[in-house]
C-alpha cells in the first residue's frame, strides 16, 4: 500500500539544533561568538589581526580558523599575536558547519575568553546556509571584488549584522561604484551596520571596533 507521510521538517534542522547547542555552550561560559564570512582574499585574517590589536586591552579573545586545507598560516598569525587559536581543517569542505564548530569549542579555553572570533572558510555561497550558533555574523567584502557582489551572492548578505568593506585604500584605482554596492546591500539588509575600512592604512578600523565593543557589551549583559 502506498501512502503519503507528512514530514514538514526544515532540511537544515540537524545543523540548526546543533548550532543552538553551540550557542548554549557559549552563553554558559559568557562568551560572545562572532562568525566572519568573506570570499578568499577579502582580508579576513588581516581584519581579525587588526581587530585583535584594537581589542586586547578590553577583552580576552580566542579565534577559530576554518581552512579547507591542512595549513596553519592563518592560525600561526593569530597565535603569534598572543591569542588562543584552534584550527578546523574542513578537509576540502567549502564551509564550516555547527558540528565542526562544536568540535573546536571543546579545544578552546572558553573560561579564559570573552569574545570568540570564528573565521569561516573563504566562500560567499555555502557558509550562508550553515548556522554555527554564534551571536552575530559579519561579512567582509573588499573593493577589488567589485561592486556587484551583493547582486550576485545575495544570500550571504542577508541575516548579517555588520558588513565591512575592506581595502578602501584601493578605491582611487578601481572602478567601484559605492552607491550601487550600498543600494544592493540596503535592499537585502537595510539594518546592517556598514564599515568601510583599510587594514593596510588602518582607516575606518576604529569605527568598526567601537561597534564591535558595543555589541559584545550588550550580549555580555
Partner 1 sequence: MHELPIAENILNIAVDYAERAGAKRVTALHLVIGQLSSVVDDSIQFYWDIISKDTLCMGATLQFDRIPATLVCLDCGHTYTLNRELVACPHCDSIRLKVTAGEEFRLESIEVET
Which residues contact partner 1 (rule: CB under 8 A)?
1-15, 93-95, 97, 123, 125-126, 128-130, 150-151, 154-155, 158, 183-184, 186-188, 190
The answer to whether residues 42 and 140 touch, using CB atoms and an 8 Å cutoff, is yes
Helix (H) or strand (E) holding 63: strand 61-67
Region of 213 on the Ramachandran plot (φ > 0 left; ψ -120 to 50 alpha; else beta):
alpha
- CB nearer to partner 1: pick between 60 and 93: 93
* Residue whose CB is less far from partner 1, 155 or 201: 155
Give me the least distance between CB of 10 and partner 1, in Å please.
5
Identity of the residue, 59 or 151, whose beta carbon is nearer to partner 1 in the bound complex: 151
Nearest approach, Cβ of residue 134 and partner 1 (Å): 18
Minimum CB distance to partner 1, residue 55 (Å)? 32
Helix (H, G, I), strand (E, B) or coil at 216: helix
Contact 10, 16 (CB under 8 A): yes
Residue 26 pairs in a beta bridge with: none
53, three cell numbers: 590589536
CA distance 34 to 11: 24
By C-beta, is 42 or 78 nearer to partner 1? 42
Amino acid at each position: 500500500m502506498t501512502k503519503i507521510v507528512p514530514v514538514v521538517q526544515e532540511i537544515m534542522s540537524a545543523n540548526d539544533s546543533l548550532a543552538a547547542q553551540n550557542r548554549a555552550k557559549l552563553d554558559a561560559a559568557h562568551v560572545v561568538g562572532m562568525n566572519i564570512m568573506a570570499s578568499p582574499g577579502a582580508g579576513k585574517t588581516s581584519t581579525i589581526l587588526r581587530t585583535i590589536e584594537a581589542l586586547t586591552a578590553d577583552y580576552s579573545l580566542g579565534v577559530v580558523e576554518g581552512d579547507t586545507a591542512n595549513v596553519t598560516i592563518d592560525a600561526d598569525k593569530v597565535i603569534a599575536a598572543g591569542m588562543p587559536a584552534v584550527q578546523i581543517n574542513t578537509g576540502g569542505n567549502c564551509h564550516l558547519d555547527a558540528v565542526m564548530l562544536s568540535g573546536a569549542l571543546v579545544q578552546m579555553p572558553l573560561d579564559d575568553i570573552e569574545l570568540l572570533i570564528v573565521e569561516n572558510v573563504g566562500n560567499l555561497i555555502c557558509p550562508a546556509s550553515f548556522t554555527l550558533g554564534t551571536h552575530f555574523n559579519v561579512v567582509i567584502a573588499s573593493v577589488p571584488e567589485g561592486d556587484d557582489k551583493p547582486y550576485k551572492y545575495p544570500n550571504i548578505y542577508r541575516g548579517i549584522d555588520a558588513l565591512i568593506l575592506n581595502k578602501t585604500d584601493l578605491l582611487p584605482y578601481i572602478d567601484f561604484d559605492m552607491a550601487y554596492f550600498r543600494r544592493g546591500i540596503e535592499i537585502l539588509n537595510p539594518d546592517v551596520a556598514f564599515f568601510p575600512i583599510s587594514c593596510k592604512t588602518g582607516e575606518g578600523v576604529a569605527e568598526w571596533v567601537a561597534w564591535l565593543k558595543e555589541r559584545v557589551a550588550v550580549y555580555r549583559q
